[in-house]
Every structure is written in C-alpha cells, then in structure tokens.
Amino acid sequence: MLAPSNSHVRKWYFINLVDRDLRKTLVGPEGENLLKEREVETVIRKTGITDSASQDMYRYAIPKQASMILDAAVVLVPVFHQPFPLMEPRERKHLNYFASIWMCIENMLLSAVEEGIFGVTYIPNYPEKIKEMLRIPAEFEIACILAMGYPGKNPRMFSPDTINLKEIIRENYGQNT
C-alpha cells in the first residue's frame, strides 16, 4: 500500500477469489482456448513479441494460464476508481489512476518474490462480464487477475534478455554535447 499513487488517492480494492467455481467461471471459454497449445502461436503473433526469450515463456505459460488461476493459493482481482474513460483518455493525466494501481500491483509482486512466492498477471478480454459477475461499480475498472502462490516442484524459470543500460539510457538526448 506504499506504492506511489495519483495525488495519494488509493481508491484500490482487491477482490479475493476463494471460490473455485467462481474462478472457473472467470476463466470461462477464453481460458479454455488458452489451454490449447495451437492457440499460443496466434497469441504470440498478435502481441508482436519478437524476442525468443519472451516467445519461449509464452509457449510455456499460456497453456498453463487458466490452471494457474484455478489452482493458485491466492487469486486477487485488483480494481481501481477510474473517473474518466480508461480506453479513451482525453488527457494523459486521466491515466494516472491506471498507472497507480499498476505500481501497487508491481509492489505486491516484488514483495511476493522476496518471500519465494510467484505471481502471474492476466488481463482478461472480457472485463465487463467480470465486473457484472463480481458486482463491481461502473466507475471502477479491473486492472488484471492476479494469481499468486508458491511454485510447484521444479518450475521452469525464464530469464529476460540481458539489457545493456548504456544502450537504453541517454543523457540530454537530442542535444549536441
């Protein structure tokens, strides 16, 4: 809860999904498609991911995504107050509420890693159905479905590509120095 937030307004709520049948309903038909490995290449192509490490991670994780949500020790649905249309912001500042909840989620995931807990975020393609099912007020948005728990035996670990900070950090970019 110490994550930075828009004007220190933390209108965040976390719905803890303890009921397995409810989790199954949330995963829905979309989750069933994710379990089919042949769909993975379509997802990779649609997302535009080109680096091999990310593609390998997707090929491994996507078929398991629904089971991660169903079997995780904790499944949270972080929701946040969004007084402006999220998908049609008129000004950049209208995205501050969205950015704030994601800083909170990142803090949660970083804290979990310190405790040996793994987490996965899933952004559903049908948030309105979930809002209706969970009776989430209209002025709130769903950030993601967040599944967390201790890893199973011998989990496959993925390392991101090495990033050379000197290649991505520019000082006084665009100036003749």
User: At 53, which CATH number?
Assistant: 3.40.109.10
Asked if residue 83 belongs to a domain, the reply is yes
Report the C-alpha gap between 85 and 98 in whole angstroms.
11
Residue 159 pLDDT > 60: yes
pLDDT band for 134, please (50, 70, 90 cuts).
very high
Give the pLDDT score at 34: 53
Give the pLDDT score at 145: 93
Give the pLDDT score at 13: 93
Residue 1 or residue 30, greater confidence: 1
Instruction: Find the mean pLDDT for residues 60-81.
Output: 87
Asked if residue 164 belongs to a domain, the reply is yes
- The alpha-helical segments, DSSP class H, found in 115-164 are 127-133
Domain containing residue 105: 6-168
φ/ψ of 138, rounded to 5, equals -60, -35
Report the C-alpha gap between 133 and 17 in whole angstroms.
12
Report the C-alpha gap between 6 and 92 in whole angstroms.
12
Pairing label, strands 12-16, 145-149: unpaired
Asked if residue 175 belongs to a domain, the reply is no
DSSP designation for 139: T
Q: Structure tokens of 170? A: 């520019």
Q: Structure tokens of 21? A: 């049948």
